[in-house]
Chain A
């Protein structure tokens, strides 16, 4: 069980490394799909079918929107100029990488090993799930025990859509300027 998850994670890491170093933008987007679909198999191995269905459809829609963005744009990347600031950025990134690895080494004593999770909070939800009346415990949590969070999620989705509709607006402001001037 653990060996399959390790294989999927290594596949995702290789796909993401190639995606950030591809010369062509279209190859980068396609190999970003490897990461997304590897995540679907990881969800199925972890007994989470709800998340797998959502992740498949969301990944396909993301790929469609990304390809629509880069279709009429240049595909080539300009030559890499090795300037001083790129060395600075790489140094800062390595510093943060070592800090995060050190943090993980410190808290590895507090994390339970994989597969031996202590469900202190979730045991109350599972025991009282009959009171909610739904056979799917995840839906019962989302709509009965924690319905306020679902309202917050709907609000965030609404706000993000309003933001997109505002950014992509194309009113005839320029035509008015041309008429006046």
Chain B
């Protein structure tokens, strides 16, 4: 139970990074920390004590396996997370080239 509370604290730290920080790179780091906390929570739910790696081997029979379904869902989520971070960082490069700073308070001129 304390593990789930620690996961929630990690999620709240990421939320703090998104809402309160003003530097664009730190906002992106906050989003990434939120994503990591959710991934860890999903894999934590599927753990069975006494279980083992979900690979069938012929020498063992009647083995208890760890739940493989959250692992399959998280495997694709990690690779998609890499592509989304790449997209956010490329938008950040464009904004830096236009305004000369990473501070979001000074990006307030809309070109018409």
Contact = CB atoms under 8 A, between A and B. Distances in A.
A157 B68 contact: no
B35 to A, nearest CB: 10
Interface residues of B, number: 75
Interface residues of A, number: 82
16 contacts: A13-B6, A13-B9, A25-B102, A29-B29, A35-B36, A46-B44, A61-B82, A65-B85, A65-B86, A69-B25, A101-B8, A115-B47, A115-B48, A117-B46, A117-B67, A136-B56
Interface string A131-169: 000011110011000100110010011001101100110
Please report whether the interface of chain A is mostly helix, strand, loop or mixed according to DSSP.
helix
Please report whether the interface of chain B is mostly helix, strand, loop or mixed according to DSSP.
helix
B36 A36 contact: yes
Interface string B36-63: 1001100111111101111111000000
B3 A114 contact: yes
Interface of A: 1-2, 5-6, 9-10, 12-13, 16-17, 19-20, 25, 28-29, 32, 35-36, 39, 42-43, 46-51, 54-55, 58, 61-62, 65-66, 69-70, 73-74, 77-78, 86, 89-90, 92-93, 96-97, 100-101, 104, 108, 111, 113-117, 119, 121-122, 125-126, 129-130, 135-138, 141-142, 146, 149-150, 153, 156-157, 160-161, 163-164, 167-168
B4 to A, nearest CB: 7
B9 A90 contact: no
Contact of B23 (A25, A97, A135): A25
Rank and list the top 4 A-B pairs by shortest CB-CB distance, nearest first.
A115-B49, A160-B83, A153-B76, A137-B54
